[in-house]
């Protein structure tokens, strides 16, 4: 069946390929229930397109069309989830100070300890690497400006900032272990 002309043909095609379509969506999203929702949304979207077609054009390669719609819906779903997670993280941070407007003594002590660990980690770095990191993170300079200021190539400036960041992450990870 290479083309379909009506809703009945589309329903048969959809039912024939439903498990494969759900599996495809699941491979992108990683959650079976969300994949099933995406496949259902794709079916209704195709039905809506078919209803709007007044000249009853034939839909060529309908299975490929369904896969493309599912892929796009999956990507939209992942983007939405990323935005929601970002919003939730911001809410979590604001919840830390929501009750009194100030952080608890335990949170304050933990933050001070992390600052001490970061200060020590920065002091362990080579001088130019530390300077590059501080210029990038604390002064907000772009890598090209850092490269000019430290008289190094752009790639070297990038490498220095990246290695300093990785060193700080590793130091904080060791602290929590």
Q: What is the DSSP code string of 52-81?
A: H-SS---EESHHHHHHHHHHHHHHHHHHHH
Joined together, the tokens standing for residue 13 give 């095609």
Q: Clarify whether residues 13 and 67 are in a common domain.
A: yes
Output the domain CATH number for residue 21: 1.10.1740
**Domains held by the chain: number:** 2
Last residue in a domain, options 96, 118, 139: 96
- Report the pLDDT value the prediction gives residue 1, as an integer from 0 to 100: 42
Q: What is the pLDDT of residues 31-44, one digit of tens each?
A: 888 888 888 888 88
Mean per-residue pLDDT over the chain, rounded: 80
Averaged pLDDT, 148-161 = 91
Q: Clarify whether residues 84 and 15 are in a common domain.
A: yes
pLDDT > 90: what percent of the chain?
Answer: 15
Tell me the pTM. Answer: 0.43
Q: Clarify whether residues 23 and 66 are in a common domain.
A: yes
Q: 71, 28 in Cβ contact below 8 A? A: yes
Domain limits for position 168? 105-176
Lowest mean pLDDT among 52-66, 108-122, 129-143, 155-169: 52-66
């Amino acid at each position: 069946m290479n083309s379909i002309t009506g809703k009945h043909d589309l329903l048969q095609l959809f039912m024939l390929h439903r498990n494969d379509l759900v599996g495809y969506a699941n491979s992108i999203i990683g959650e079976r229930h969300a994949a099933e929702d995406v496949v259902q949304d794709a079916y209704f979207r195709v039905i809506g397109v078919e209803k709007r077609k007044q000249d009853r054009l034939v839909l060529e390669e309908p299975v490929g069309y369904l896969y493309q719609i599912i892929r796009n819906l999956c990507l939209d779903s992942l983007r939405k989830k990323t935005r929601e997670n970002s919003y939730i993280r911001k809410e979590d941070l604001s919840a830390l100070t929501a009750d009194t407007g100030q952080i608890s003594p335990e949170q304050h002590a933990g933050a001070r300890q992390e600052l001490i660990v970061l200060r020590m980690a920065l002091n362990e770095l080579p001088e130019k690497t530390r300077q590059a990191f501080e210029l990038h993170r604390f002064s907000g300079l772009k890598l090209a400006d850092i490269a000019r200021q430290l008289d190094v190539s752009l790639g070297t400036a990038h490498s220095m900032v990246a290695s300093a960041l990785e060193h700080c992450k590793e130091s904080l990870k060791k602290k929590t272990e």
